[in-house]
Each structure stands twice: as C-alpha cells, then as structure tokens.
Amino acid sequence: MSILFANISTPQNITDFLPAAPAGWKIAMEDKMYDSKSLYDYIDGGAELYISYGMKEVISRFITNETRDEIRIEIFDMSESKNAFGVFTHTRTQNEGIHGQGSQYFPGTQIFWKDRFYVSIMATDENETIRSAIEDLASEISNKITTTGKMPDIVSLLPEENLTEDGCIYFHHYIWLNSYYYIANDNIFGIDKHTNAILAKYGSKENRHYLLCIEYANEEKSDSAYSVFKTQFLDQQSDETAMQIEDGSWLGGTTCGKYLICLFNAPSKTEINKLIGKITENIQR
C-alpha cells in the first residue's frame, strides 16, 4: 500500500508504527500523511488542538471489514514526549494504563501516548468485533513504538495529597488556561512554547480548587507574571498574597524562582498556604 504525502517533504518514521489490518479487516484506502499546514484539510475544525501542542505530522490509515465497519487509525508525531503527554491529558478523563504510557478507552475510541507519539484509534460504531480489533491495533502500535518518553518535569512538582486522580492538564498554549476553571480570556501570564504550564484539580467535587503552576525561562519572567496576577486578582493596597472573593472562595499566588504558582477557588487561606507551601518545597528539593 503506497502512501500519499499531503504537503509533506520529508517523511518521518511514524510509518513504521502502522499496524497490519487484523483478521477479517482490510486496508480501505491509501494511507495519508499531513503536517501542521495540511492538517486543516484532514481534521475539520479540530487541527488547532494538535498544532497548539507542537504537532509535526500525522499518518492515518482506514481499515474496514465485510460488514462495512470502519476504523480510523491515527499516529501523531508530536515532536516531543511532553507534547504527546499534553494532548493525552487534554483528552483523557482517566488513565487506564493499558497501552503505551497512558491510555483510555471510550466507546469506539482508544487513545494513548508513548514517547513523542499520540495515537487515536476510532471507529464509527462499537460492537464486540470492533472492540477486539481496536484492542489488537492499539497493542500492535504500542509494541512497535519501542522507545518511551519523559513526562514534563513540572508534573512531578504537584503535591499528591488531595490531587484528583488524573486531574491535571499540561500545556504550553494559553488557550488551555481555562481547561478546568475560568481564569482569564487573554494570555495574561505570557504562556507560550517557551513555558511549561500545569493546571491541577484538588479536593472533592464539592470542594474543588485549582492549582496553576507555570515554569518560565527565568525569574524575571515569573516575577513579571506575578505582577500581573497581583494586579488582576489581588488587593493592590495590601501585601497579602491571598484574598477572599465575593463568592466566599479564596485565591492566592506566589513565585518560587522561575515558577509562578497560583491557587483558585480554594476553601480557605490555610489551604492556599498548605498547597503553595508544598509545591514550593517540591521545587526547592
């Protein structure tokens, strides 16, 4: 089966990971590759998510069976493992840990990440035959990717106590700042491809609070971001690093070296001090 390159000048090795069609299935059409420019032609309205995480290219293969079920296999080369992990954290609601370095099955859809690759296997429907084929395909692709990647270091800074299981999202594009909680419309903290940001959920559903930690290139940038935080969220007449807002919740923030740390919707000032204290310890460790 030949590969049709769509606006790609240098093919990459994601082709090596393409799985064979399981028994009873056949490849439906030519495989296709897309880069960040041609991705718009492929994913109607959805390309930006992958581009915002630094996608380099994607290969897609369609397979079909006698009953005309269809499965779409997509392997994204996200340039760096932190990006593959980031896209996964954006989409998953829990890590079932079956495939690659993190995976989740939704009805008719399997996603996982491994090394710098993010994989999506998606069917138009779901039945036992499809589920079994998706499982085989995911296993094969995961086995073919023989390398593993590192999660972004910033993830390891999160205090574990009261952290919601799989309740964090890693990103370096400001659009994802509001993933769990509305913080700001604009890129007030200067998040870009040179920063690493993580947003994490703490506490129970009834008592949810959100920790934002951003790693900048240097202290000057984190200080500057803190100034924005203070201007936008805190009482400028006071040196307090936390305050209670109209709805009764607390918010607070600080810097630790090149890191900006903020907590939103906290139940108390004590909780702010505790969480920020803990992550500061982790940074300084």
Partner 1 sequence: MKNSTLAAIGASLFFTSPMKIYGKSRQGNLSRVVLIRDKNILDENGNVNKALLEKMLDEGLVKLTGMKFREDAWAQIFKPNDVLGIKTNVWTHLPTPRELENLLKEKAIGMGVIPEKISINDRGVKNDPVFQKSTALINVRPMRTHNWSGVGSLLKNYITFAEDLPAYHPDSCADLAKLHNLPVTKGKTRLNILVMFTPLFHGVGPHHYNKKYVWNYYGLIMGFDPVAVDSTGLRILQAKRKEYFGEDQPLNPPAKHIMLADTRHKLGTADPGKIELIKLGWEEDLLI
List residues binding partner 1 (CB under 8 A): 40, 43-50, 72, 74, 90-91, 106-109, 111, 120, 122, 126, 175-176, 178-186, 188, 205, 208, 232-233
> Which of 68/205 has CB closer to partner 1?
205
CA angle 102, 94, 208 (to 5 degrees): 135
> Which of 2/185 has CB closer to partner 1?
185
Q: At closest approach, how far in Å is the CB of 205 from partner 1?
A: 4
> Which of 91/95 has CB closer to partner 1?
91
Q: At closest approach, how far in Å is the CB of 224 from partner 1?
A: 17
**Strand bridging mode 3-6 / 31-35:** parallel
One-letter amino acid of 260:
L
Q: At closest approach, how far in Å is the CB of 172 from partner 1?
A: 15
> Which of 209/221 has CB closer to partner 1?
209
One-letter amino acid of 220:
E
Q: At closest approach, how far in Å is the CB of 158 from partner 1?
A: 19
> Which of 243/283 has CB closer to partner 1?
243
Q: At closest approach, how far in Å is the CB of 235 from partner 1?
A: 9
Q: Which long-range contacts (CB under 8 A, 24 or more apart) does 202-206 make?
A: 202/162, 202/163, 202/164, 202/167, 202/275, 203/162, 203/164, 203/267
| Residue 46 to residue 49: CA distance in whole angstroms | 6
Percentages helix, strand, coil for the chain (3-state, rounded to 5) are 30, 30, 40
N-to-C CA span, the chain: 53
> Which of 108/267 has CB closer to partner 1?
108
Q: How many helices (H) and strands (E) does the chain have?
A: 6, 14
Q: At closest approach, how far in Å is the CB of 281 from partner 1?
A: 29
